[in-house]
């Protein structure tokens, strides 16, 4: 296995950060998207839009309206949800007494407070994807992809990560779809084995929600209701999107410095201003 998956994901996120955040200074005050020192990713949680930054976790209401979530300022690198809980990984903030790296943290109050779950001082996940109690994490230090079936309490290594994105089934334990070299791989046993899903599309990102699979190929958003066997077009953007993130209530896509959201599972979008 090669490390190309982890590196490709990092490049995609950093490109978005560079496009959205020109001309930043280290004395910036994180009150708007343009003033944040460094954005790692944007994630949708239910109806909220959360921004993962070097300066902490922020909630975004508009480009000029965002606020710090909670008081724990840490460099939020990996982030996902497990039911109502938030899980995150990254580095401590400057002057913090937290171990470096921080391992896996969990919040049961929407990010107001966090507690350590596992791998404290050992792992810095730059990719976290999960559903129910299944959790996948790509460690930035070793390059390994790791899997937990008990919400991050214990972990197994799956070897060097080769995936650029992973979508975890919201219903079936051990089932997930990953993107490798723009193609889809389906597993039903947490990637002990996987089979290719035949399709001519070249995928860049994928999300799995109760309403189905959503994926980007080029500048087009697609949906599948049969685990990726067939796809239908939902929306087309003027350029190739940088980020796709979705909950069952809200979907978000970034195109350059523009952010678009959808409340009807990607059939139409509005621009955040």
Three-state secondary structure readout of 206-244: EEEECCEEEEEECCEEEEECCCCCCCEEEEECCCCCCEE
Strands 195-197 and 205-209: unpaired
Domains and CATH numbers, the chain: 4-271 (2.120.10.30)
Tokens of 148: 């937990």
> What is the reported pLDDT for 216?
98
pLDDT in tens, 173-213: 999 999 999 999 999 999 999 999 999 999 999 999 999 99
Q: Whole-prediction pTM value?
A: 0.86
The tens-digit pLDDT sequence of the chain (273 residues) is 333 444 444 434 333 443 343 322 233 334 555 555 568 899 999 999 999 988 889 999 877 788 999 888 899 999 999 999 999 999 987 777 888 999 999 999 999 999 999 999 999 999 999 999 999 999 999 999 999 999 999 999 999 999 999 999 999 999 999 999 999 999 999 999 999 999 999 999 999 999 999 999 999 999 999 999 999 999 999 999 999 999 999 999 999 989 999 999 999 999 987
pLDDT in tens, 204-237: 999 999 999 999 999 999 999 999 999 999 999 9
Three-state secondary structure readout of 161-219: CCCCEEEECCCCCCCEEEEECCEEEEECCCCCCCEEECCCCCCCEEEEECCEEEEEECC
> What is the reported pLDDT for 58?
93
């Amino acid at each position: 296995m090669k490390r190309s998956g982890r590196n490709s994901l990092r490049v995609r996120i950093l490109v978005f950060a560079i496009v959205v955040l020109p001309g930043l200074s280290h004395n910036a005050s994180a009150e708007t998207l343009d003033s944040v020192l460094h954005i790692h990713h944007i994630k949708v949680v239910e109806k909220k839009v959360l921004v993962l930054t070097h300066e902490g976790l922020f909630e975004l209401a508009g480009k000029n309206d965002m606020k710090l979530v909670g008081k724990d300022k840490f460099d939020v690198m990996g982030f996902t949800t497990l039911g109502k809980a938030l899980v995150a990984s990254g580095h401590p903030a400057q002057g913090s007494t937290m171990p470096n790296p921080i391992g896996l943290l969990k919040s049961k109050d929407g990010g107001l407070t966090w507690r350590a779950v596992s791998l404290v001082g050992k792992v810095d996940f730059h990719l976290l994807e999960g559903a129910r109690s299944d959790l996948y994490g790509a460690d930035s230090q070793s390059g390994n992809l790791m899997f937990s079936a008990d919400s991050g309490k214990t972990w197994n290594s799956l070897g060097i990560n080769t995936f650029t994105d992973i979508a975890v089934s919201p219903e079936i334990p051990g089932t997930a779809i990953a993107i490798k070299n723009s193609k889809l791989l389906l597993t039903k046993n947490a990637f002990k084995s996987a089979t290719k899903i035949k399709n001519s599309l070249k995928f860049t990102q994928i999300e799995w929600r109760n309403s189905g699979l959503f994926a980007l190929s080029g500048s087009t958003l697609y949906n599948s209701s049969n685990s990726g066997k067939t796809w239908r077009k939902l929306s087309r953007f003027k350029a190739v999107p940088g980020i796709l993130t979705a909950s069952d209530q809200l979907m978000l896509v970034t195109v350059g410095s523009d952010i678009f959201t959808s409340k009807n599972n990607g059939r139409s979008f509005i621009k955040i201003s």
